[in-house]
Amino acid sequence: MTQNEKLAELSKAGVAVWLDDLSRDRIHSGNLESLVDEYSVVGVTTNPTIFAAAVSGSDSYDDQVHAMAVRKVSVEEALRTITAADVRDACDLLAPVAQRTGRDGRVSLEVSPQVARDTDATAAEAAHLWWLVDRPNLFIKIPATQEGLAAITTSISQGISVNVTLIFSVERYRAVMDAYLSGLEQRVRGGGSLDGIESVASFFVSRVDTEVDKRLDKAGADPSLKGKAALANAQLAYQAYEEVFSSERWHLLQAQGAQPQRPLWASTGVKNPGLPDTLYVSGLIAPGTVNTMPEKTLKAYASHGSPGKPIQQSYEGAAAVLQAVADAGVDFDEVFTTIEDEGIQKFVDSWNDLTDSVRSELEDKS
């Protein structure tokens, strides 16, 4: 099968195309395989919201749930068995991509959002999920909360590949990169190998515009400022990435076999229908990055996407945009705190929905 030309060009520009969705139906129907073959997809991300939708909207899980009901397993064990099975199967499907690229072919599985504010519990669950799925092309997703930073360092030092999620500010992103480098340094000091350890830092995009634009409206600001802060924020994140991964500290680790922690653009589906549906893809094209897209966004770019100017040419303009937004009365510290809290709560709610769905299925089939 031939690859979509626009997405193939995106890949050639250094952007790894990932799918932000997973379900058992996608795997068993051949849908995921077709996206790999035809749409340049080389990775998959999941989160509690994605799994809640997958499990509640399909009967593909019935046999597995029935078997667990007979065994009288707990809801928590059943939930993790279900999600780990899907992620393991997706890892196996993408194993040839991992072998071909050396870096991609990854599938992400998130720790419970209920432990997002607990360092030790996050690190312990990350280790358990790494053992449970038992695939080298797995990523464990850990939220970039203050409490999550130390868990990131611990996990990396244990040889666990990590997808750091829910990053909204450049300041927190710098702390995430530091946590990653600290984990590598700890592993080296302990005599461990850096071979096979990978990490991505998921910098969320569209949610920034959603919150900023709401505040711009409330302040009666110039409407021309709307729909610009998210791209500017992400573009400056890439500038920070270039700085950190050209430092002497990084070069010392690189000499010992370390891989850079790639920026991953997440939440790239446009939530405001007044904005171009490929905005958060076209404006974030840079080498050594990942863009994880909902299928709708993926196919929109495949249909009519076109690249914007390279990120490296946007830094000055991006800084000016954020300054103008701040001058209009938007407090970015408040914005980032708000959307981090909302992001965690959204995943907690989805986790609870998923737990309730699995509990109900176990009861029905017992």
Task: Identify the residue whose tokens are 């009901």.
Answer: 69
> What would the mean pLDDT of 127-153 be, rounded to a whole number?
97
326 C-beta neighbours (distance < 10 Å), count: 12
Q: Residues for the chain: how many in total?
A: 366
CB 115 within 8 A of CB 121: yes
Residue 128 clears pLDDT 90, i.e. is over it: yes
**Within 13 Å and on the Cβ side, how many CA atoms surround 171?**
6
Question: Band of the pLDDT at 31, cuts 50, 70, 90?
Answer: very high
Mean pLDDT, range 342-362, rounded to an integer? 90
What beta strand segments (E) does the chain contain?
A: 15-19, 41-44, 106-110, 138-143, 162-167, 199-204, 262-266, 289-293
- What is the reported pLDDT for 1? 55
In order of 21, 91, 193, the CA distances from 96 in angstroms are 19, 9, 23
Residue 218 appears among annotated catalytic residues: no
The pLDDT confidence band at residue 43, using thresholds 50, 70 and 90, is: very high
- Selecting among 141, 271, 299, 309, the annotated active-site residue is 141
pLDDT value of position 5: 95
- Do 209 and 271 touch, CB atoms closer than 8 A? yes
pLDDT reading at 2 higher than 80: no
> What is the model's pLDDT at position 242?
98
Q: Please, what is the Cα angle at 90 between 278 and 100, to 5 degrees?
A: 80
Confidence of residue 55 (pLDDT cuts 50, 70, 90): confident
Amino acid (1-letter code) at residue 352: N
Give the least confident one: 218-227, 245-254, 308-317, 355-364. 355-364
- Nearest CA-CA partner of 112 in 98, 123, 101: 123
Which sign, positive or negative, has the C-alpha torsion 206, 210, 215, 221?
A: positive
CA atoms within 13 A on the CB side of 111: 33
Spatial distance between the Cα atoms of 32 and 317, rounded to a whole number of angstroms = 38
Domains within the chain, CATH numbers bracketed: 5-365 (3.20.20.70)
| Average pLDDT of span 263-287 | 96
CA distance 44 to 298: 12
Structure tokens at 272: 């405001």
What is the mean predicted confidence (pLDDT) over 144-169?
A: 98
Q: Which residues have a Cβ under 8 Å from the Cβ of 356 and sit 6 or more positions away?
A: none
pTM summary value: 0.96
Those residues with Cβ within 8 angstroms of residue 58's Cβ, 6 or more apart along the chain or in another chain: 23, 24, 25
Whether the per-residue pLDDT at 366 is higher than 80: the answer is: no
Q: Compute the average pLDDT of residues 16-21.
A: 98
Token representation of residue 205:
């995009």
- Provide the pLDDT confidence category of residue 66 given band limits of 50, 70 and 90: confident
Paired residues of 110 in beta bridges: 141
Asked if residue 41 lies in contact with residue 97, where contact means CB atoms within 8 angstroms, the answer is no
Give the confidence band of 58 by pLDDT, cuts at 50, 70, 90. confident
3-state secondary structure of 228: coil
